[in-house]
Amino acid sequence: MDMFILCRVIAFRSGLFCSGRECLVLNPGGHFKMHVDPLSDDHNPFGDRLATFLMFLNDVPLGGRTVFPVINVTLKPKKGSAVFFWDLQRNGGDDSLTFHEACPVVIGEKWISTKWFHELGNDKVLPCSVEAEDTGLDDLKSKLLEEIEN
């Protein structure tokens, strides 16, 4: 799917302003340790990351799974599949449900495309609240991780 069209679809479905993307490859042994996505560089003019869209660009013969241990979800890289998840709670705090890691690639390569949606331009999508639980996103939270298959 054309990334411009995909960006428009994501923006329409999520209500978020869509910006650039990052593509990367993990070779055998390549992985990412457990982390959350919202923490941006302190000098990032776009602010923290509100949401993440991660698309798998190829099948991985062995390894390379993406794991969300807090919610007990494991995603096997499958070409064309994707996941969207919110990174911040309404009060601006990290959403601990989205801790994730990329397990080591054992055989082959893992190609992914990641789009992060930052605070700048999206400040009205998730109005602030002092209560972390006061998300106003109950329907979205119940579908925190949604795999999209072509």
Neighbouring C-alpha atoms within 13 Å toward the C-beta of 74 = 5
| Mean pLDDT comparison of 18-22, 26-30, 133-137, highest-scoring range | 26-30
Long-range contacts of 38-42 (CB under 8 A, 24+ apart): 38/87, 38/88, 38/94, 38/95, 39/94, 40/118
pLDDT (average), residues 16-35: 80
Instruction: Tell me: pLDDT of 41 over 70.
Output: no
Check residue 144 and give its pLDDT.
38
Report how many domains make up the chain: 1
Decide which of 86 and 77 is more confident. Answer: 77
**81: which residues sit within 8 A by CB, 6+ positions away?**
55, 56, 75, 147, 148, 149
Decide which of 53 and 11 is more confident. Answer: 53
Q: Kindly report the CATH number assigned to the domain that includes residue 103.
A: 2.60.120.620
Domain interval for residue 50: 3-127+136-148
SS3 25: strand
Check residue 76 and give its pLDDT.
96
pLDDT (average), residues 86-104: 83
